[in-house]
Structure 1
Amino acid sequence: MTNYPKNLWSGFLFGIGLVAFIDEAVFHQLLHWHHFYDKSTTGVGLVSDGFFHAFSWFATVGSLFMLSDLRRQGGWLPMRWFGGLLLGAGGFQLYDGTIQHKLMGLHQIRYDVNIVPYDIVWYITSVLMIIIGIALLVRSKRKSSKTGVSTNHANN
């Protein structure tokens, strides 16, 4: 088995955890723009934020255990890992903006403002992270093919 999937998934989980943490810390706590669930009381919103925060930390910590194992085995592929990070971050942000904001209506980025500019920035940022992440993943695959670097590891 190659280290490619483990690098990808570790970076992907870290990207999800990182973006979720930034979302929760900046938009929920510092700016008070929304809670994870805004269709009830402030207390319910705060509890939902707590669960969201716990989710982001579980994803982050789990990914760092995977990264630690990769580094211990000498199988960390930084370009592949960062590609996974951007893919996870952009994918989560796109999911949040489309599924949670629009389809499920759990919350919006902001209330009582013209939401269109916020949505545009949200979606452009998401898509850019996904495109750059995919480019890094493709480049890392080509780079290892051209250099003949083996991604196999006996313990993986």
Structure 2
Amino acid sequence: MSKHPADARGSLIATSFFGIGLMAAIDEIVFHQILAWHHFFDRSTQTVGLISDGLLHSAELLMLAAGFYLFVQLSSRRAVSRLHGWAGLFLGAGGFQLFDGIVDHKILRLHQVRYVDNLLLYDLAWNAFGALLLAIGFMIWRTARSSPASLQGGR
């Protein structure tokens, strides 16, 4: 184990960015492109839908790059708190998923998970998965806060 102090907050932030970008990438690749269930903005033309997907993809890449950059900076100083890092990854991914399911789908009505007669099953599954990721992240974060091992940095 390294004697360098871990940067718990920095580890949490870096991997939260990465988690947001990762979940946005999974959403876009699987649901927007492979399954073609929707575009980020479905309330206009096909062209506007494709442009909105491109903007989502750009934001996702920025989040991945920012998270990766911050994580590399922590790694070079041997200041990564592994538990805080894992917590951030799950909190970021779950936060994105739940934000998308509640704000984008229901409040702003930018798009639905899937356009079917009964949306309830899709909405429940989508939001439950986001809540599960958040719960896992929160449990890891609580463990990290009380763990002496999280005070040590390393690679």
TM-score, length-normalised on structure 1?
A: 0.90
* Structure 2: segments with no counterpart, 5+ residues: none
Aligned residue in 2 for 1:88: 92
After TM superposition, where is structure 1 displaced by more than 3 Å over at least 4 residues in a row?
A: 147-151
d(CA) in 1 for partners of 2:115, 2:139: 35
For the 8 Å contact 2:84–2:150, the answer to whether it is kept is no
Residues 26-56 of structure 1: per-residue CA shift (max 9 Å, x gap)? 0000011000000100000000000000100
Are residues 1:131 and 2:135 paired? Answer: yes
* Structure 1: segments with no counterpart, 5+ residues: 152-156
Give the drift of 1:113: 3.6
Q: Percent identity?
A: 38
Are residues 1:27 and 2:31 paired? Answer: yes
Give the drift of 1:2: 6.2
TM-score, length-normalised on structure 2?
A: 0.91
Aligned residue in 1 for 2:17: 13
Aligned residue in 2 for 1:154: none
When the two chains are superposed, the root-mean-square deviation of aligned CA atoms in Å is: 1.6
Aligned residue in 1 for 2:60: 56
